[in-house]
C-alpha cells in the first residue's frame, strides 16, 4: 500500500481532512504532514484579531495521521475500508500542549506504535512545528474494527 493510498482511504473530506501527505510508514511508525491554511473557517472566530488553531483540531490531526492512517496501513490486507464497511473511534487521549499553531503553519505528526490487539490501537504521538519544536504530544488510543464480513 502506498502512502497516497492510505490518505485516499481516510473517511474524511474537506473541510475535515487534516492530512496532506504521509511521508513515512512501517509496521510500527508513521509520519505525515498537514498545513492549517488561513482560509479555514474556524480562524474567523478563534480568536478575533489573533487567530490560533483550536487544540481540538490539533488532536484531530494527530488522530488522523497517528492512529487512523497507521491503522489503515496495519489492516491493509484485511479488507478494512472506513468509507464503507468498518468503524473507527477514539477511546482515549492524554495530550499536553506546548506551542500554538497559527494560520499557514505546516505541522508534522509522528506516531510510534505501542500496541495493536483486539482492534485497539495505542500509539505515542507528537506534533512538531516547522522549526522542529514539539507543539503537543501524548498517548492516543482508538478502536479500528473491520466490518462484520471481516470480523
**Higher per-residue confidence, 87 vs 27:** 27
Minimal CA–CA distance to 18: which of 51, 46, 59?
59
CB atoms within 10 A of CB 142: 22
CA distances, 55 to each of 8, 13, 84, 106, 140 (Å):
25, 20, 29, 15, 15
Q: Can you give the pTM of this predicted structure?
A: 0.93
Q: Indicate if the pLDDT at residue 151 is higher than 60.
A: no
Beta bridge partners of residue 109, listed in sequence order: 32, 127
Interval 26-56: pLDDT, tens: 999 999 999 999 999 999 999 989 999 999 9
Interval 94-148: pLDDT, tens: 999 999 999 999 999 999 999 999 889 999 999 999 999 999 999 999 998 776 6
Domain 3-150: which topology?
A: Thiol Ester Dehydrase; Chain A (3.10.129)
Q: Which residues are annotated as catalytic?
A: 46
User: Which pLDDT belongs to residue 149?
Assistant: 47
Q: Which three cell numbers stand for residue 53?
A: 488553531
Taking residues 15-29, report their average pLDDT: 97
**Does residue 82 come out as left (phi exceeding 0), alpha (psi in the -120 to 50 range) or beta?**
alpha
Amino acid at each position: 500500500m502506498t502512502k497516497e493510498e492510505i490518505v485516499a482511504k481516510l473517511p474524511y473530506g474537506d473541510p475535515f481532512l487534516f492530512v496532506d501527505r504521509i511521508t513515512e510508514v512501517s509496521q510500527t511508525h508513521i509520519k505525515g504532514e498537514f498545513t492549517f491554511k488561513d482560509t479555514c473557517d474556524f480562524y474567523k472566530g478563534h480568536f478575533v484579531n489573533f487567530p490560533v488553531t483550536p487544540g481540538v483540531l490539533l488532536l484531530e490531526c494527530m488522530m488522523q495521521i497517528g492512529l487512523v492512517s497507521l491503522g489503515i496501513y496495519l489492516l491493509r490486507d484485511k479488507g478494512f475500508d472506513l468509507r464503507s464497511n468498518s468503524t473507527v473511534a477514539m477511546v482515549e487521549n492524554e495530550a499536553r500542549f506546548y506551542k500554538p499553531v497559527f494560520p499557514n503553519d505546516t505541522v508534522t505528526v509522528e506516531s510510534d506504535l505501542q500496541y495493536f490487539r483486539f482492534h485497539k490501537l495505542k500509539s505515542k504521538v507528537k506534533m512538531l512545528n516547522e522549526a522542529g519544536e514539539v507543539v503537543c504530544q501524548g498517548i492516543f488510543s482508538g478502536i479500528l474494527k473491520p466490518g462484520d464480513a471481516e470480523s
